[in-house]
Amino acid sequence: MGPPGSVYEGGVFFLDITFSPDYPFKPPKVTFRTRIYHCNINSQGVICLDILKDNWSPALTISKVLLSICSLLTDCNPADPLVGSIATQYMTNRAEHDRMARQWTKRYAT
List pLDDT tens digits, range 6-65: 999 999 999 999 999 999 999 999 999 999 999 999 999 999 999 999 999 999 999 999
* pLDDT for position 106: 98
* pLDDT for position 15: 98
SS3 of residue 73 by DSSP:
helix
Contact 109, 15 (CB under 8 A): no
Go through the domains of the chain in sequence order and give each one's CATH number.
15-109 (3.10.110.10)
Residue 20 to residue 13: CA distance in whole angstroms: 23
Residue from 39, 48, 70, 76 carrying the catalytic annotation: 48
Query: Catalytic annotation on 48?
Result: yes
